[in-house]
Chain A
């Protein structure tokens, strides 16, 4: 243990640096600037540099705009608002066409966006939060805590997700999209929690963590200051994947009729196209299925791209290089690919 201490000069310096900042007076504006540099400017640079992040971000941004503004501007879907069974691009009254009840498909897509975004976010936040909490605590504390948490997550992992969600959906009859999102990821967190735990098991042996521990820093502080930041790339990438899982699971379960059909939802649009309008059997109405698939595919694509991009954003080397602070630009670009390991 001693050896590790002496080995890790840099870590020791960082630790010293941290204690220094706590004693040195920094003005509010300085802190804001630091925050801006660390959390907006540098990530922004990386994001702009990477077309995947850029595209993913733009798509997601558009969805958010649609949810916030589109729903206010574009009329809500009702029957007979336009002619029945219009094909896409046939008239600008209903650019994506209409169903056999005369409901504008674009209106359905737009007005389903807010609840879909809430659902996706709630599910991703919930599962990631639980996973991080259980993973870090179990991994770091070890012992009985670890065993208890691991047992719980084992149980969660072994319950079949779909039947569980079905049973809960019938019992709870969730109407709030946030609740639906949480329901969908009710046991999704366990797998992620497990992998975080194993990462923490490695991290806890790192010398800087040991140093903190030796100095009597509280567990909570060690977890939040030393452990979790190192896992952030992994966590955020999985956050994006959890969000993507929520879209598919949500749409799938709405389509299957497992979830209450009260919310405007792309899955319900698919269900209605297939069951009510026989869109996949009768010719000429395939567009009823294709239209709701577009936002599902786009939102999912944006999350995948963002997940890949976030990987780069959290890579310190890339950040430093792009911010022009690195002295070793000529070093390998390959590192970019390897870091994160997710």
Chain B
């Protein structure tokens, strides 16, 4: 091992290494955290990130068939390399570097709405099974071929972690060396299978994770899995893990990768930066050549060199308000509606960042791009709550109908004289969320609610003992969809809003009556006025969202989705505020890359996906 690392040092240009760390030092001095968690947060059960390490990591042997330039691409990360590990179910899982080191099952393209094959070459739903075939020639970085056993191990571990695949899957079977089948038990909506399965990343070489699997299977809970630390990953991606110090993670081209011919440069490094501003400075100064998902306001984008391409991809969601349904006021539908009416979502989005934020056209459980597909002709009947204006008259009338009136100070109070007041919180440093919530609070205060806005460190909010999980809030900023690829289908979003946000994103005990008991709900029926204006519509979110996830009949799917989306629109279990775009930057100075609007770059995230596809090549400069 010592020999290996010495060899490696010869490959490194000492001068460049020092230059990199120097830049990091300067960036760290520039100070300030304010990391913008929104960009990096990946929905919980997308999980697939990474891992495997090896005792005798073999540095790539050069492929003689093509010329590989001794060039290092410099990218950034906002997690300290000293703190990360590569077990995707563990703590402090690596960020972005794992996307190079481990191939995804497949990559979702937001422009086409389809998955592009990666380490899973083909996949098929047969009715009884979901079959996957591994890419031919896929190898681990230690030289072993990637086998069906490795894939099965991943899926079995994922089962131990409680992944949503196992809502409908019952077993995993290795058909042959390259084929694995998930046996399907019970009903599953076929259009959801891909979103559940293909979002993963093959990170588990059986030789590394086999023991963890058997330990976890024999244990009462999954702690053997979550506590396993993988800090020298054996990957299978287009680049392999080299070494990491406090500042830099270095990866080197994996010459035995089936797509290795697509990569004509030798190294890809991730430099650590503390906070968005440090990353912006690095992009401006050319210290890094790419950065994934970095919220960058217009004034900074304007200053970036012309050679810097900005790829904006949908996030299929963004920040909204999760009210605590046990709150005296926020638990009342009329108050939630009044909040939606009283704010101008377009103005909030423009305050947040006009370049990357848009207001939802119809507040329900779908991103704008999917509204027409699912609402169809009924879209006009859905309540928009005023997308570009503050509908204060309507807000006032719903409150008055609910028994509220304005007091002498022009502040709303209920029948018993209690002021309509609540505290609105947002994670500190998530700047686009904070600016959005500030605007919302101002607009609601102007309307006569008594809203106190404050920021709370993310560390106090997230996690199993955080304020979100404990339901210790009046109203909080949080995603209003399940976000990313799967949010294109209403199932995950409805489940997120009405049933169990933990299953889709993060734990949150918001106590919506329709939600499961673990989230503070009572699995109650929800009744709203019917969509066609006559009578009422009653749904049971737990049952009906479950049916939406399991039906294979497209008419039932469409009908049920419409009903549930209408309930979401009327009852507002969460209040949508804006949709965001992720910004990923790549410099074209030394690399040939696609145009900013190219279809191929509409992925999360372009700077790690494009090299694999031969769309980001060194141009000799």
Taking the complex as formed, is B539 at the interface, i.e. its CB lies under 8 A from any CB of chain A?
A: no
Interfacial chain A residues near B210, Cβ < 8 Å:
none
| Residue ID in chain A nearest B282 by CB atoms | A281
Q: How far is the CB of B466 from chain A (nearest CB, A)?
A: 15
Interfacial chain A residues near B301, Cβ < 8 Å:
282
Distance in angstroms between the alpha carbons of A260 and B457 in the assembled complex: 10
Please state if A79 and B438 are interface contacts (CB–CB under 8 Å).
Answer: yes
Stretch in contact with the other chain, from B11-19, B427-435, B566-574: B427-435
Q: How far is the CB of A78 from chain B (nearest CB, A)?
A: 4
Please state if A80 and B347 are interface contacts (CB–CB under 8 Å).
Answer: yes
Taking the complex as formed, is B302 at the interface, i.e. its CB lies under 8 A from any CB of chain A?
A: yes
Taking the complex as formed, is B244 at the interface, i.e. its CB lies under 8 A from any CB of chain A?
A: no
Residue from B277, B280, B299, B300 having most chain A Cβ neighbours under 10 A: B299
Taking the complex as formed, is A326 at the interface, i.e. its CB lies under 8 A from any CB of chain B?
A: no
Interfacial chain A residues near B452, Cβ < 8 Å:
262
Taking the complex as formed, is B47 at the interface, i.e. its CB lies under 8 A from any CB of chain A?
A: no
Please state if B32 and A100 are interface contacts (CB–CB under 8 Å).
Answer: no
Interfacial chain A residues near B33, Cβ < 8 Å:
257
Taking the complex as formed, is B276 at the interface, i.e. its CB lies under 8 A from any CB of chain A?
A: yes
Taking the complex as formed, is B350 at the interface, i.e. its CB lies under 8 A from any CB of chain A?
A: yes
Taking the complex as formed, is B532 at the interface, i.e. its CB lies under 8 A from any CB of chain A?
A: no
Please state if B434 and A79 are interface contacts (CB–CB under 8 Å).
Answer: no
Please state if B276 and A278 are interface contacts (CB–CB under 8 Å).
Answer: yes
**Contacting residues of chain B (347-365) with chain A, CB-CB under 8 angstroms:** 347, 350-351, 353
Q: How far is the CB of B451 from chain A (nearest CB, A)?
A: 12
| Neighbour of B442 across the interface among A79, A100, A284, CB < 8 A | A79
Distance in angstroms between the alpha carbons of A84 and B351 in the assembled complex: 8
Given contact pairs A101-B438, A283-B302, A260 touches B454 in the complex (Cβ within 8 A) = yes
Please state if B300 and A282 are interface contacts (CB–CB under 8 Å).
Answer: yes
Q: Could you say which interface size class chain A belongs to?
A: 20 to 34
Given contact pairs A79-B442, A282-B302, A101 touches B435 in the complex (Cβ within 8 A) = yes
Q: How far is the CB of A269 from chain B (nearest CB, A)?
A: 13
Taking the complex as formed, is A277 at the interface, i.e. its CB lies under 8 A from any CB of chain B?
A: yes
Per-residue B-contact encoding for A79-93, CB less than 8 Å = 1, 0 else? 110001000000000
Taking the complex as formed, is B34 at the interface, i.e. its CB lies under 8 A from any CB of chain A?
A: yes
Distance in angstroms between the alpha carbons of A274 and B442 in the assembled complex: 21
Q: How far is the CB of A104 from chain B (nearest CB, A)?
A: 12
Taking the complex as formed, is A64 at the interface, i.e. its CB lies under 8 A from any CB of chain B?
A: no
Taking the complex as formed, is B455 at the interface, i.e. its CB lies under 8 A from any CB of chain A?
A: yes
Please state if A282 and B303 are interface contacts (CB–CB under 8 Å).
Answer: yes
Taking the complex as formed, is A224 at the interface, i.e. its CB lies under 8 A from any CB of chain B?
A: no
Taking the complex as formed, is A336 at the interface, i.e. its CB lies under 8 A from any CB of chain B?
A: no
Q: How far is the CB of A263 from chain B (nearest CB, A)?
A: 10
| Residue ID in chain A nearest B441 by CB atoms | A79
| Residue ID in chain B nearest A275 by CB atoms | B34
Interfacial chain A residues near B34, Cβ < 8 Å:
274-276
Interfacial chain A residues near B296, Cβ < 8 Å:
278
Distance in angstroms between the alpha carbons of A78 and B445 in the assembled complex: 10
| Neighbour of B303 across the interface among A100, A101, A274, A281, CB < 8 A | A281
Taking the complex as formed, is A102 at the interface, i.e. its CB lies under 8 A from any CB of chain B?
A: yes
**Contacting residues of chain B (442-499) with chain A, CB-CB under 8 angstroms:** 442-443, 445-446, 452, 454-455, 457
Taking the complex as formed, is B439 at the interface, i.e. its CB lies under 8 A from any CB of chain A?
A: yes
Main secondary structure of the interface of A (DSSP, over half): loop
Taking the complex as formed, is A167 at the interface, i.e. its CB lies under 8 A from any CB of chain B?
A: no
Please state if B428 and A261 are interface contacts (CB–CB under 8 Å).
Answer: yes
| Residue ID in chain A nearest B344 by CB atoms | A80
Per-residue A-contact encoding for B265-304, CB less than 8 Å = 1, 0 else? 0000000000111001100100000000000111111110
Residue from B284, B302, B438 having most chain A Cβ neighbours under 10 A: B438
Interfacial chain B residues near A102, Cβ < 8 Å:
351
| Neighbour of B299 across the interface among A79, A101, A285, CB < 8 A | A285
Q: How far is the CB of A330 from chain B (nearest CB, A)?
A: 56
Given contact pairs A260-B454, A275-B429, A79 touches B277 in the complex (Cβ within 8 A) = no
Distance in angstroms between the alpha carbons of A283 and B297 in the assembled complex: 11
Please state if B300 and A101 are interface contacts (CB–CB under 8 Å).
Answer: no
Please state if B277 and A281 are interface contacts (CB–CB under 8 Å).
Answer: yes
Interfacial chain A residues near B32, Cβ < 8 Å:
274-275
Please state if A277 and B297 are interface contacts (CB–CB under 8 Å).
Answer: yes
Distance in angstroms between the alpha carbons of A50 and B615 in the assembled complex: 72
Please state if A257 and B439 are interface contacts (CB–CB under 8 Å).
Answer: no
Please state if A84 and B455 are interface contacts (CB–CB under 8 Å).
Answer: no
Please state if B276 and A79 are interface contacts (CB–CB under 8 Å).
Answer: no
Taking the complex as formed, is A280 at the interface, i.e. its CB lies under 8 A from any CB of chain B?
A: yes
**Contacting residues of chain B (94-125) with chain A, CB-CB under 8 angstroms:** none
Q: How far is the CB of A267 from chain B (nearest CB, A)?
A: 13
Given contact pairs A281-B281, A283-B303, A275 touches B438 in the complex (Cβ within 8 A) = no
Please state if A281 and B300 are interface contacts (CB–CB under 8 Å).
Answer: yes
Please state if B434 and A276 are interface contacts (CB–CB under 8 Å).
Answer: yes
Q: How far is the CB of A174 from chain B (nearest CB, A)?
A: 13
Interfacial chain B residues near A100, Cβ < 8 Å:
297, 351, 353, 435
Distance in angstroms between the alpha carbons of A274 and B276 in the assembled complex: 10
| Neighbour of B351 across the interface among A80, A262, A280, CB < 8 A | A80
Per-residue B-contact encoding for A55-90, CB less than 8 Å = 1, 0 else? 000000000000000000000001110001000000
| Residue ID in chain B nearest A277 by CB atoms | B297
Given contact pairs A80-B347, A101-B351, A283-B299, A276 touches B431 in the complex (Cβ within 8 A) = yes
Please state if A281 and B351 are interface contacts (CB–CB under 8 Å).
Answer: no
Please state if A278 and B351 are interface contacts (CB–CB under 8 Å).
Answer: no
Per-residue B-contact encoding for A281-297, CB less than 8 Å = 1, 0 else? 11111000000000000
Please state if A281 and B280 are interface contacts (CB–CB under 8 Å).
Answer: yes
Distance in angstroms between the alpha carbons of A274 and B519 in the assembled complex: 37
Interfacial chain A residues near B300, Cβ < 8 Å:
278, 281-282
Residue from A262, A274, A275, A284 having most chain B Cβ neighbours under 10 A: A275
Given contact pairs A80-B347, A275-B34, A280 touches B435 in the complex (Cβ within 8 A) = no
Distance in angstroms between the alpha carbons of A278 and B297 in the assembled complex: 7
Distance in angstroms between the alpha carbons of A84 and B435 in the assembled complex: 13
Please state if B280 and A257 are interface contacts (CB–CB under 8 Å).
Answer: no
Interfacial chain B residues near A257, Cβ < 8 Å:
33, 428-429, 457
Interfacial chain A residues near B429, Cβ < 8 Å:
257, 275
Q: How far is the CB of B515 from chain A (nearest CB, A)?
A: 30
Distance in angstroms between the alpha carbons of A275 and B275 in the assembled complex: 9
Interfacial chain A residues near B445, Cβ < 8 Å:
78
Per-residue B-contact encoding for A305-335, CB less than 8 Å = 1, 0 else? 0000000000000000000000000000000
Q: How far is the CB of A36 from chain B (nearest CB, A)?
A: 44
Distance in angstroms between the alpha carbons of A283 and B353 in the assembled complex: 16
Given contact pairs A80-B442, A261-B455, A282 touches B351 in the complex (Cβ within 8 A) = no
| Neighbour of A79 across the interface among B280, B351, B455, B457, CB < 8 A | B351
Distance in angstroms between the alpha carbons of A262 and B275 in the assembled complex: 22
**Contacting residues of chain A (223-262) with chain B, CB-CB under 8 angstroms:** 257, 260-262
Please state if A262 and B281 are interface contacts (CB–CB under 8 Å).
Answer: no
Q: How far is the CB of B324 from chain A (nearest CB, A)?
A: 20
Distance in angstroms between the alpha carbons of A280 and B31 in the assembled complex: 12
Distance in angstroms between the alpha carbons of A284 and B298 in the assembled complex: 11
Interfacial chain A residues near B347, Cβ < 8 Å:
80
Interfacial chain A residues near B284, Cβ < 8 Å:
281
| Residue ID in chain B nearest A276 by CB atoms | B431
**Contacting residues of chain B (204-248) with chain A, CB-CB under 8 angstroms:** none
Interfacial chain B residues near A284, Cβ < 8 Å:
299
Please state if A275 and B277 are interface contacts (CB–CB under 8 Å).
Answer: yes
Q: How far is the CB of A82 from chain B (nearest CB, A)?
A: 12
**26 pairs of residues in contact across A and B, judged by CB atoms under 8 Å:** A78-B446, A79-B443, A80-B442, A84-B350, A84-B351, A100-B353, A101-B351, A101-B438, A101-B439, A274-B277, A275-B32, A275-B34, A275-B275, A275-B277, A276-B431, A276-B435, A278-B276, A278-B277, A278-B296, A278-B297, A278-B299, A278-B300, A281-B277, A282-B301, A284-B299, A285-B299
**Besides A278-B299, A281-B303, A282-B301, 6 other A-B contacts (C-beta < 8 A):** A100-B297, A275-B32, A278-B280, A281-B300, A282-B280, A283-B303
* Interface, chain A (partner B; CB < 8 A): 78-80, 84, 100-102, 257, 260-262, 274-278, 280-285
* Interface, chain B (partner A; CB < 8 A): 32-34, 275-277, 280-281, 284, 296-303, 347, 350-351, 353, 428-429, 431, 434-435, 438-439, 442-443, 445-446, 452, 454-455, 457
